[in-house]
Amino acid sequence: MSASPQVPQAVDGPRLGTTLFSLTNEFHSRRFTFEQLVAKVAQLNLGPGLEIVGFQSVRGFPAVSDEFAARFRELMAQHGLVPTCLGLNSDIAIRRDRLMSTEESVAYHEPQILAAAKLGFPVARYQFTASAEVVRRLVPLAERVNVKLGLEIHAPYKVNSPEVMAYREMYDKVNSPCLGFIPDFGATARTVPPPYLDTLRNRGISEALIKVALDIWMSEDELPAKRANFAREARATGADPAAASALGVIFNILVPQDARAWQEIMSQVIHVHAKFYDFNADGSEVCIPYEQILPVFRDAGYSGYMSSEWEGQMYSDADGFEMLRKHHALCRRILRIGT
């Protein structure tokens, strides 16, 4: 599959890219190999940035063979793509009997960071299950191999959530250029994906309970209170526990937050997850206010990469490439990037 040249972009705002996580359906169904995904991302001009998730895309990860590393770099050069971010796994619950200790978690992350360096990724995304102390201990390695560690600020957390503040305070104390944040736009949502709610209606969830869930979702309560309130309402209506649990997912994947909140940490943003779900007839994202969010990043001078991240595969079998194409078109229109 031959690739089309990537459209150049002036560096006056976020630069576009894609995470292969968006193409999970295409990969897991075996319709595309890893190399075919990379080639088609380039062919459809969905780069130039390319993000991958280590455990999803690299067989044997975090071990990376010399052959795979060389081939990956060849693919980037061949297709005019730029490696932007490697998604790490911060799974501290891989044992049945207990969670990882701090020392075990540090050891678990170290080879993943080395893998990022070997593959040429300048940024490695970590998750909240890697504690602030774990990340602090990883800084010397990150500095040595020149890989920046980025906490993905993902719903249900906000810029000023206590969980995020713990990392912000550690960052201030350590003061390392290898520490930063990766905003996930699902933490700046305006509503919940209507198609997801439709799947729940088909499972028998009542309109009344859906309305209650959305009202709780829009509230200013912290996550524990939202979950407790929803659980109480679900029990009161006699909702099927499995279906109610599926509805409760909305509290974890999206959270309402003013787009301007990102300004507080903009100087420490090292990558962006441009989360999206669906589009209306005029091409706007239905859940996430891109018309408000992207100007905040552009006007603040952010010129790093932004990975288009479709999470609609949670409820949809739509063509991931087509969804990415629509998302890039939206971002280009807002940012006034030539096509």
Question: Per-residue pLDDT tens for 144-195?
Answer: 999 999 999 999 999 999 999 999 999 999 999 999 999 999 999 999 999 9
60: CB partners within 8 A, 6+ apart: none
Q: Of 7 and 44, which is predicted with more confidence?
A: 44
DSSP letter for 119, please.
H
- For CA atoms 94, 184, 20, 53, the dihedral sign is negative
Tell me how many degrees the CA angle 155-157-160 measures, rounded to the nearest 5. Answer: 145
Does residue 11 carry a pLDDT above 70?
no
Peptide bond into 289 cis (omega under 30): no
Q: Which of 28, 79, 109, 154 is catalytic?
A: 154
pLDDT bin (cut points 50, 70, 90) of residue 243 is confident
Per-residue pLDDT reduced to its tens digit, 51-87: 999 999 999 999 999 999 999 999 999 999 999 999 9
Residue range 89-98: average pLDDT?
93
Ramachandran region of residue 325, left (φ > 0), alpha (ψ -120 to 50) or beta?
A: alpha
Tell me the backbone φ, ψ of residue 45, rounded to 5 degrees. Answer: 60, 45
Instruction: With both helix axes pointing from N to C terminus, report the angle between 102-119 and 66-79 in degrees, rounded to the nearest 10.
Output: 50
Task: Give the confidence band of 208 by pLDDT, cuts at 50, 70, 90.
Answer: very high
CA distance 41 to 33: 12
Inter-CA distances, 194 with 54, 247, 273, 316, Å:
31, 12, 21, 12
User: What is the pLDDT at residue 237?
Assistant: 86
User: What residue ranges define each of the domains in the chain, with the CATH number in brackets?
Assistant: 15-192+254-335 (3.20.20.150), 194-252 (no CATH)
74-77 own/partner pairs: CB under 8 Å, 24+ apart: 75/35, 75/38, 75/39, 76/50, 76/120
- State what percent of residues in the chain have pLDDT above 90: 90
Residues paired with 310 in a beta bridge: 276
Whether omega before 122 lies within 30 degrees of 0, making that bond cis, reads no
pLDDT digits 0-9 by tens, 254-269? 999 999 999 999 999 9
- In this prediction, residue 222 carries a pLDDT of 87
Percent of the chain scoring above 70 in pLDDT: 96
- pLDDT band at residue 239 under the 50/70/90 scheme: confident
Look-up: residue for tokens 């593959």? 119
What helix, strand, coil percent values describe the chain, rounded to 5? 50, 15, 35
Query: Which residues lie below 8 Å from residue 61, measured CB to CB, with a gap of 6+?
Result: 54, 55, 112, 115
Indicate if 109 belongs to the active site: no
When pLDDT is cut at 50, 70 and 90, the band that residue 319 belongs to is very high
Among 144, 127, 153, 154, residue whose Cα is nearest residue 178 = 144
pLDDT in tens, 94-150: 999 999 999 999 999 999 999 999 999 999 999 999 999 999 999 999 999 999 999
